[in-house]
Homo-oligomer: A and B are copies of this chain.
């Protein structure tokens, strides 16, 4: 497919670390990217496959998840425009250690990892910024692990809802892009339990769970549920 975005230099979305590149380096990236369009449900990155590319999410939403034993998935997070999807595997065994699937329609740029390798070596500020990005993701995973381990179901659901509200949509009211099953995959709960907790939260007036959306009514209470575990 021909690239439709004019140039990285004028990319309206923009990746944080790319800010540290010179315009020459930007051109280098631009010459080595490949746009792709994905329909909802399609796989952008498959766990286990060689991680030869980073993926820059231009538009749409995707989910990053780990496939465990064929059946059980664990959703690590939702990716929104501007996200640089660059698995840790790229720096270790060159295999993707998670899958990524489109939730909505997605436009993304593939950028060869050799491009990154080159930029890391030649541009220290870029390398440092990349370390920062990777560190932030690693911290998120670590925090998630502790939450899953120590918090009970209501706390975990609260965390997921606040994650969607704060980090993804930036709004107290958002479209529910995840099925109950997927919310369960994110909070390590059976889908039936997700349903029950959401109902309880609705009954106690913390949220309003509309047909296809969620509205956080009492954000303080929700945050308290998160804290108390």
Q: What is the interface of chain A, defined by CB distance below 8 A to chain B?
A: 66, 68-69, 72, 74, 76, 88-92, 97-98, 117, 120-125, 127-128, 130-132, 134-139, 141-146, 148-150, 188, 229
A sample of 20 cross-chain residue pairs with beta-carbon separation below 8 angstroms, ordered by A number, consists of A68-B146, A88-B134, A88-B138, A89-B139, A91-B134, A91-B135, A92-B135, A92-B136, A97-B139, A97-B142, A121-B128, A122-B124, A130-B131, A134-B134, A137-B138, A144-B145, A145-B145, A148-B148, A148-B149, A150-B188
A124 touches B120 (CB 8 A): yes
Q: Choose one: B97, B127, B137, B142; the contact of A120 (CB below 8 Å).
A: B127
Cross-chain contact B132 with A91 (CB below 8 angstroms)? yes
Q: How far is the CB of A105 from chain B (nearest CB, A)?
A: 28
A121 CB contacts on chain B under 8 angstroms = 124-125, 127-128
Complex partner residue of A148 from B89, B138, B145, CB under 8 angstroms:
B145
Is A74 in contact with B146, judged by CB distance below 8 angstroms? yes
Q: In the bound complex, what is the Cα–Cα distance between A4 and B120 (angstroms)?
A: 35
A145 neighbours in B (Cβ, 8 Å): 74, 141, 144-145, 148
Other A-B pairs beyond A123-B124, A124-B124, A145-B148, 17, CB < 8 Å: A66-B146, A68-B146, A69-B229, A74-B149, A88-B136, A88-B138, A88-B142, A91-B131, A92-B132, A97-B143, A120-B127, A120-B128, A121-B124, A121-B128, A131-B134, A134-B134, A148-B149
Top 4 A-B pairs ranked by shortest CB distance?
A121-B124, A88-B135, A127-B127, A138-B138
Q: B131 and A128: CB pair below 8 A?
A: no
Nearest opposing residue in chain B for A228, CB measure: B69
Distance between A133 CB and nearest chain B CB, rounded to angstroms:
9
**CA A66 to CA B141, docked complex, whole Å:** 13
B residues less than 8 Å from A125 (CB atoms): 121
Task: Tell me how far the C-beta of A27 lies from the nearest C-beta in chain B, rounded to whole angstroms.
Answer: 20
The interface residues of chain B lying within 8 Å CB-to-CB of A123 are 124
Which residues does chain B contribute within 8 Å of A139, judged by CB atoms? 88-89, 92, 97
Q: Which residues of B contact A66 (CB under 8 A)?
A: 142, 146
Q: Which residue of B lies closest to A66 (CB)?
A: B146
CB closest chain-B residue, reference A229: B69
